[in-house]
Amino acid sequence: MNVNKDLQNERNKCSFNVRELTEFIDGGKNRTLERKHIEKLILAQKDELFGGTPEDYLSHKEKYERAIQTNVIILKIVQDFMRDANGGDLTNYRDVLTTLLNFVVSREGTPFALHFMMFLPVFLSQADEEQQMEWLPRAWNCNIIGSYAQTELGHGTFIRGLETTATYDAATKEFVLHSPTVTSYKWWPGALGHTANYCVVVAQLHTKGQCHGIHSFIVQVRDEETHMPLAGIRVGEIGAKMGLNMINNGFIGFNHVRIPRRHLLMKHAQVLEDGTYVKSRNSKLNYGAMVFVRVVIVFDSVNYLSKAVTIATRFAAVRRQSQLKANEPECQIIDFLTQQHKLFIGIATCHALKMTATKLWDTFNEVQQQLRGGNLERLPELHALACCLKAVSTADTAALAEGGRRACGGHGYMRSSGLPQTCAVLDAACTFEGDNTVLLLQTARFLVKVWRGLDTLKLTPTVAYLRTTLTEGFNDKWDNTVEGIIKGFQTVSMRKISECVSCMAKRMMSGMSQEEAWNMTSVQLVAAAESHCRVIIISYFHEEFVKVSSSFSPALRRVMKLLVELYTLYWALDKLQDLLKYTSISKTDTEQLQERYEDTLNALRPDAVGLVDAFDIMDEILQSTLGAYDGRVYERLMEEALKSPLNAEPVNRSFHQYLKPLMQGKL
């Protein structure tokens, strides 16, 4: 391979073993080997998968057709892999998902994502054993393609407000699904447009004249042979979006569609033949799938951010601009401190969030065990944690990827850079699966509850600091170390929660209802939840690093330690207003932090390309003119442009039709 000279120099400079870091990121040597194996299978079908006119030139309809064509190939490859994996167990299910999400070949998503990300997990957590036996093997084998239809045109966040009804008819032992209004149409489910033939539908369950709230039903949407929508079903796609245009998001409406009683997913609540409703043992049990999906979103956001920083960092090493000093050659833009400031935090964030999510995942599995034993103690904490972590990770990764895009100047605006599409995926994550503001308010609700019960409650691990920060002398002396900054963040979070609670109390004293007081304080509540999440991420990153670093070689340990430092310093400087307000930090301390931050950027500079190389994203998946391994940036930009169908002819027909008559005054 003919690699750009600057990029080769960077690689020669790298102070640590890139492969060692790759294996750590993958979760072990074997995982890396597995991934490489799949990559080889994908490359064997390179022409079918990546040939032809680039997708960005296609019409909306053509894009869909391309998506189906290529993703069927990918699915077959991953299916083979899955057969070896242990189907059904959620612990390994994450690996399957990770694999699938790692190998999305289109930059606008895949119509099969929902099948694996939502349809299967919901089925696993909500269908009873008999139902699982009946449906799972077919779903696992993709004999049916599913989607998950919850959100409606009129309701997203507030699921109690969903309008789709499922009314039990004891005479025929069937549910009748119905969409009574335009706003009750399901809207958004991926794959639902023209791809899925089955769907889990969330609807208000009515039986014996009473509404029992929302429940999940499995519904066949299209005929398995002809793919025609079944009678009474109106289904289609919702149109073009900012990104993810290959997901095939759809709408669906029901006109008195009948489904058998056993199509209600009955692991928790049930409806008996005579229409008797049997309640679920615990309404919180449904949290499981939600927590699962949100953790997966954190992992996936890291995936996309690592793509963005790989592209932006390699481009910054290749791109030369401006003469720092007269008569010297133009310098690599990665040598500008302002550029390092935009990029390196992205690299650190990938590691911080990945380690945090991994820890959350492990906690989730522990809690699942406890749940089976009937212990629900940690469920609210876990839910609160997953909520804020999803919100903060998606917001941070979206902002940092966008920062990376802008750091590539105009070329980052080109779709051939891959950055616009990457940013659009991360942007979408800010609102899907729980709007970020709403999620942060859920975490805030939990925090307020904990705070109010501080004297009596047994504190679960992630909120234990709320009590320790209150001990005398905790925050008397500011300390500029990572541990000191973490303590500072703990104080900030505690003080913000405390302020929210007293603010609400004051408002209620002045005559506001609890809800009004909550609403009036909500901007501060969101900020408090964010602060709590910052405490969790920074301290998890630090703790996990300490834990795993003993297995690292000294060189890797050094560079990872720098990343932990960088991440902590970055957020300390970003949140100076909070630290200045709530801790004993002084102006001199802040100046030292700034200086150390700049020194850390400098220390990471020689390893920057090595760090993104370690993400080990192959060119075919990265799909970027700016970010390819060989750094042939300008050649690739031109090559991609020449693939434009517009460039196939020197003069477009619109010249003769419109331009020429205009210029000659004859239009």
**How many other CB atoms are there within 10 angstroms of residue 285's CB atom?**
17
Nearer to another protein, 399 or 459 (CB): 399
User: Do 353 and 393 touch, CB atoms closer than 8 A?
Assistant: yes
CB of 451 to another protein, least distance (A): 19
State which amino acid sits at residue 8: Q
The answer to the question of residue 69 lying near another protein (CB under 8 A) is yes
Q: Is residue 109 part of an annotated ligand binding site?
A: no
State which amino acid sits at residue 220: Q
Site track 552-581 with another protein (rule: CB under 8 A), x = hit: -----------------------xxxxxxx
User: Do 238 and 186 touch, CB atoms closer than 8 A?
Assistant: no
Nearer to another protein, 357 or 395 (CB): 395
Residues of this chain, 123-152, that bind another protein according to CB under 8 A: 137, 141-145, 151
Q: Please select the residue that binds another protein; options are 11, 31, 155, 467, rule is CB under 8 A.
A: 155
- Give ∠ CA 426-429-432 in degrees, rounded to 5: 160
The residue written with tokens 């630090």 in the block is 542
* Count of alpha carbons within 13 angstroms of residue 329, beta-carbon side: 7
Nearer to another protein, 377 or 591 (CB): 591
Contacts of 414 (CB under 8 A, 6+ apart): 420, 625, 626, 637
Nearer to another protein, 94 or 307 (CB): 307
Q: Please select the residue that binds another protein; options are 412, 418, 484, 610, rule is CB under 8 A.
A: 412
The answer to the question of residue 75 lying near another protein (CB under 8 A) is yes
Nearer to another protein, 375 or 602 (CB): 602
CB of 11 to another protein, least distance (A): 22
User: Do 177 and 201 touch, CB atoms closer than 8 A?
Assistant: yes
Order of strands, sheet of 250-254, starting from the edge strand that comes earlier in the sequence: 186-187, 250-254, 233-237
CB of 43 to another protein, least distance (A): 20
- How far is 509 from 516, CA to CA, in rounded Å? 12
The answer to the question of residue 663 lying near another protein (CB under 8 A) is yes
Nearer to another protein, 248 or 363 (CB): 248
Residues of this chain, 381-400, that bind another protein according to CB under 8 A: none
DSSP-derived secondary structure letter, 565:
H
- How far is 569 from 591, CA to CA, in rounded Å? 12
Stretch that binds another protein, among 289-297, 335-343, 355-363, 479-487 (CB under 8 A): 335-343
Q: Is residue 207 part of an annotated ligand binding site?
A: no
Nearer to another protein, 137 or 180 (CB): 137
Catalytically annotated residue among 381, 433, 544, 565: 433
User: Do 96 and 116 touch, CB atoms closer than 8 A?
Assistant: yes
DSSP-derived secondary structure letter, 4:
-
Stretch that binds another protein, among 284-292, 309-317, 375-383, 594-602 (CB under 8 A): 594-602
The residue written with tokens 């460039």 in the block is 647
- How far is 46 from 665, CA to CA, in rounded Å? 51
The answer to the question of residue 416 lying near another protein (CB under 8 A) is yes
Nearer to another protein, 39 or 427 (CB): 427
Q: Please select the residue that binds another protein; options are 186, 194, 268, 496, rule is CB under 8 A.
A: 194
- How far is 508 from 441, CA to CA, in rounded Å? 19
Burial of 167 (0-12, 13-18, 19+ CB in 10 A): middle
User: Do 487 and 474 touch, CB atoms closer than 8 A?
Assistant: yes
CB of 243 to another protein, least distance (A): 8
Task: Give phi and psi for 634, each to the nearest 5.
Answer: -70, -40
Nearer to another protein, 19 or 506 (CB): 506
CB of 538 to another protein, least distance (A): 18
**199: β partners:** 147, 219
CB of 91 to another protein, least distance (A): 23
Give the H or E element holding residue 252: strand 250-254
Give the H or E element holding residue 573: helix 554-574
Going by C-alpha positions, the residue among 133, 103, 121 that lies closest to residue 290 is 121
Nearer to another protein, 43 or 638 (CB): 638
The answer to the question of residue 180 lying near another protein (CB under 8 A) is no
* Count of alpha carbons within 13 angstroms of residue 553, beta-carbon side: 11
- Plot region of 155 (φ>0 → left; ψ -120 to 50 → alpha; else → beta): beta
CB of 251 to another protein, least distance (A): 7
- How far is 430 from 393, CA to CA, in rounded Å? 9
Q: Please select the residue that binds another protein; options are 44, 133, 211, 242, rule is CB under 8 A.
A: 242
Chain centroid offset of residue 510 CA = 41
The answer to the question of residue 630 lying near another protein (CB under 8 A) is no
CB of 84 to another protein, least distance (A): 14
Q: Please select the residue that binds another protein; options are 3, 38, 68, 214, rule is CB under 8 A.
A: 68
The answer to the question of residue 445 lying near another protein (CB under 8 A) is no
Chain centroid offset of residue 111 CA = 16
Q: Please select the residue that binds another protein; options are 33, 272, 337, 505, rule is CB under 8 A.
A: 337
Task: Give phi and psi for 144, each to the nearest 5.
Answer: -125, 145
The answer to the question of residue 638 lying near another protein (CB under 8 A) is yes
Site track 488-527 with another protein (rule: CB under 8 A), x = hit: -------------------------x-x--xxxxxxx-x-
Active site residue 433: yes
- Binding residue count for another protein, defined by CB under 8 A: 137
Coil/strand/helix, residue 513: coil
The answer to the question of residue 28 lying near another protein (CB under 8 A) is no
DSSP-derived secondary structure letter, 228:
P
CB of 32 to another protein, least distance (A): 29
The answer to the question of residue 171 lying near another protein (CB under 8 A) is no
CB of 123 to another protein, least distance (A): 17
Residues of this chain, 34-63, that bind another protein according to CB under 8 A: 54, 56-62
Catalytic residue ranges: 433
As annotated, the binding site for FAD includes 151, 190
As annotated, the binding site includes 151, 190
